[in-house]
Amino acid sequence: MGCAITMLLTGGSVRCEGREAVVSSGFLYETAPYPSCHASTIAEVDGALVASWFGGTHERHPDVGIWVARNEGEGWSEPIEVANGVFQGERYPSWNPVLFQPSAGPLLLFYKVGPTPQDWWGMLIKSEDGGFTWSEPQRLPDEVLGPIKNKPIELEGGVLLCPSSSEHDGWRVHFERTADHGKTWEVTPPVNDPEDIRAIQPSLLRHGDGVLQAIGRTRDSGVFQVWSCDNGRTWGEMSTTGLPNPSSGTDAVTLADGRHLLVYNHNPNYKGRSPLNVAVSDDGKSWRAALVLEDDKEHDAGYSYPAVIQSSDGLVHITYTWRRERIKHVVLDPKQLDGPPITGEEWPNTEAGVE
């Protein structure tokens, strides 16, 4: 992809020299009718990109709604609010949108509504036209929250396996599956004991032959992992990866070449959400330091809550919260992503990064 095309796609700054993996970086918008945003998500729909996030006065404020923008190759459209937390005449905060485009059927946008993560509930809207218009909101069954932060994966037969978690009884990871785009559901029991590892917000990685790995955020145990050998119906014992995590959201994806890519805050001090890092792995167990997306500890709001996909052209798209002010979009060439092994809590001394 040439630099001119990259500028059209991102609507932002282009960095083509030096660090070969970085195709481009820029913001989804420069100004918005709200001061704070968080928890972005991104999907590809018929060659276009669709992104969503929550925005409002501040997290937990009742005016926080779900916003969407599209990019068809000429920059990001003006964000529009597509959902809010109005329920039975009262408005509640909206949280954590998750976009997913199944191989067949409408674009799905899951999100949460409620006063806090301890008592929120799952919601779903659908788009038949790639994110231009949306259905009326549908509340999910009481025992279902939907994908809690990160995207589902699609299994054989169009079944969606949704990585989820709850916080009302300690931090617990579980998984939900739907074979009909959210009409009916199956829910697994929790796969961790919060007395051992307090974990939420998993991402799913594929290892072939029904083997899945879930990886994600903990309160104080670093990045967790848990494995399944039967496409997510049952799960083994949760453990930690050795990678640090300052109680901040992560996301991960299995690439077309079989490698796994993780975006997370490699911060062993558990204070602040910087730096924001990209690591790659061949087996989901040993990770290599590929890229530093942000490293600025002067801003308390930090750089966090990444979402990552690989688009049909092979490029990797990452969106993340930039200082709680805007959403940033970085495009990477995964063929250029590699680095030294991560052997401890300190990030290896690399020059990779994004300006």
| Residue-wise pLDDT tens digits, 315-331 | 999 999 999 999 999 99
pLDDT confidence of residue 193 = 98
pLDDT confidence of residue 17 = 28
Asked if residue 288 has pLDDT above 60, the reply is: yes
pLDDT confidence of residue 9 = 38
| Residue-wise pLDDT tens digits, 6-31 | 333 333 333 322 278 999 999 999 99
Q: Do the Cβ atoms of 132 and 68 come closer than 8 Å?
A: no
In the chain, DSSP finds a helix count (H) and a strand count (E) of: 1, 26
pLDDT confidence of residue 213 = 99
**Percentage of the chain exceeding pLDDT 70:** 93
| Residue-wise pLDDT tens digits, 37-67 | 999 999 999 999 999 999 999 999 999 999 9
| Residue-wise pLDDT tens digits, 168-201 | 999 999 999 999 999 999 999 999 999 999 999 9
pLDDT confidence of residue 164 = 99
Q: Alpha-carbon distance 234 to 347, whole Å?
A: 33
**Percentage of the chain exceeding pLDDT 90:** 89
Q: Do the Cβ atoms of 248 and 269 come closer than 8 Å?
A: no
8 phi and psi angles, rounded to 5 deg: -65, -40
For residues 300-310, average pLDDT: 94
Which architecture does CATH list for 33-139? 5 Propeller (2.115)
| pLDDT-derived band at 351, boundaries 50, 70, 90 | low
| Residue-wise pLDDT tens digits, 116-151 | 999 999 999 999 999 999 999 999 999 999 999 999
Q: Domain-by-domain residue ranges, the chain?
A: 33-139
pLDDT confidence of residue 11 = 38
| Residue-wise pLDDT tens digits, 200-255 | 999 999 999 999 999 999 999 999 999 999 999 999 999 999 999 999 999 999 99
Q: Which two tokens stand for residue 345?
A: 């809590």
Q: Alpha-carbon distance 201 to 247, whole Å?
A: 11
pLDDT confidence of residue 350 = 59
